[in-house]
Structure 1
Amino acid sequence: MDKYLIVGLGNPGYEYENTRHNTGFMVLDKMAESVGVSFEDKRYGYVAETSIKGRKVFLLKPTTYMNLSGNAVRYWLQKENIDQKRLLVVVDDLSIPLGDYRLKGNGSNGGHNGLGNIQQLIGQQYARLRMGIGNDFQRGQQVDWVLGKYTDEDMRTLQPSIDEAVEIIRSFVLAGLDITMNQFNKLGKKSKK
């Protein structure tokens, strides 16, 4: 049976809930809810298991804190013997407007500490879904912005892209990266007014 590892990056703990940096966790929570599974506290993370049309899918929310996310990713890839081509990491991205997203097959960490740590441990050849959180902050305020909570208005903008992210995960598992990028990256442009 083909196995997939879908990782949502974030920080564990109540104080980080609904922060921009936890957008990856929010997507995985929605994914788990949509298939009716719940997370269990396991080694290096909260893990939920499901299957999509005969493919086994592991949902992972690392509890290592953002900067050590690679430990959790590497552990679960090895533990379940999952091919790195079947890894998708969902992450917040400052350089993309809120409510927008970009699916990529590889690339740099873009200054993101979570992606940076994953890259150190497994390289950069893995798919990542970058969820836009915008960058409406003053110079020197990046940490406050990233760790700030979404407002209700932000959530109205973000929720549709969280829902689309769930569809992207399904498509990644069923159709593969290239087809999914072609189908969804066109959708994810908010600048089509």
Structure 2
Amino acid sequence: MALFVGLGNPGSKYENTRHNIGFKVIDKLVGDLGARDVSKASFQGELFKYSNHYFLKPTTFMNLSGKSVLAVKQFYKIDIEDIIVIHDDIDLPFGALRFKNGGGHGGHNGLKSIDSLIGKEYLRVRVGVDKPVHKSQVADYVLADFSNEEEKYLDKLISHTAEACMKLTTETLTDVKSKFSLKSLEGLLG
């Protein structure tokens, strides 16, 4: 059993923002697998099930994502090591993909919220969205839509990430890292 959590903000205003890359990966997985909706109000998110795997998009807004993750974790008695969180990462260039077990939140408010409620020992799928020139612009940057240039490669990046996520349920983290990690967009196009 695995619980995949895609981080993002609800509503059409945020749909195509960098911060919502996690939602986009969950949408891809749910669509490809034909997962069924098993949402409940108490989950504070959209929850889908396929086989023995769950796919969650918290609808609490990013800063409170942990509430939704905790609710689903407790309801289905999911161990922390079976939780895989997919999120945007400004410390990686656009198109990069990294996998990490545990660690810090790097200032990401969604991860901060999850860490504070369930702990840090879950798996992170870090999707690079690049960073703005000035640190003061981070909030506006992650809440902005992908650029036209980035949009051209977004579907490919989302598909690659979704495939990697499913492999995490059948292969070791080391194997998935070696097969699916990307340093940059070039790795995706190569």
What TM-score do you get using the length of structure 1 for normalisation?
0.89
Q: Paired residue for 1:189?
A: 183
1:49 maps to amino acid: K
Q: Paired residue for 1:12?
A: 10
Alignment root-mean-square deviation, CA: 1.7
In the alignment of these two chains, the number of paired residues is: 185
Inter-partner Cα distance in structure 1 for 2:86 and 2:25: 8
Matching residue within 162, 169, 173 for 1:173: 169
Q: Paired residue for 1:44?
A: 44
Secondary structure in structure 2 of the residue aligned to 1:131: strand
Q: Paired residue for 2:60?
A: 64
Query: Residue 138 of structure 1: CA displacement?
Result: 3.6
Q: Paired residue for 2:33?
A: 35
1:159 maps to amino acid: D
Whether the aligned pair in 2 keeps the contact of 1:127 and 1:177 (CA below 8 Å) is no
1:89 maps to amino acid: V
Whether the aligned pair in 1 keeps the contact of 2:36 and 2:50 (CA below 8 Å) is no
Deviation readout 1:93-116 (Å, 9 max, x if unpaired) = 101111111111111001100001
Q: Pairwise mapping of residues 89-128 of structure 1 onto structure 2 (< 5 A)? A: 89-128=85-124
Secondary structure in structure 2 of the residue aligned to 1:10: coil
Q: Paired residue for 2:160?
A: 164
Inter-partner Cα distance in structure 1 for 2:4 and 2:173: 13
Alpha carbons of structure 1 residues 160 and 116: separation in structure 2 relative to 1, 3 Å: same
Structure 1: gaps (5+ residues):
none
Deviation readout 1:99-146 (Å, 9 max, x if unpaired) = 111111111001100001111111111100011111134442211111
Inter-partner Cα distance in structure 2 for 1:84 and 1:173: 14
Deviation readout 1:28-86 (Å, 9 max, x if unpaired) = 111111112354653210111102xxxx1100000111001111111111111111111
Judge which range, 35-44 or 93-102, deviates more: 35-44
1:44 maps to amino acid: Q
Percent of paired sites with the same residue: 38
Inter-partner Cα distance in structure 2 for 1:80 and 1:176: 23
Q: Paired residue for 2:83?
A: 87
Inter-partner Cα distance in structure 2 for 1:183 and 1:105: 17
Runs of 4+ in 1 over 6 A off after TM superposition: none
Structure 2: gaps (5+ residues):
none
Alpha carbons of structure 1 residues 156 and 38: separation in structure 2 relative to 1, 3 Å: farther
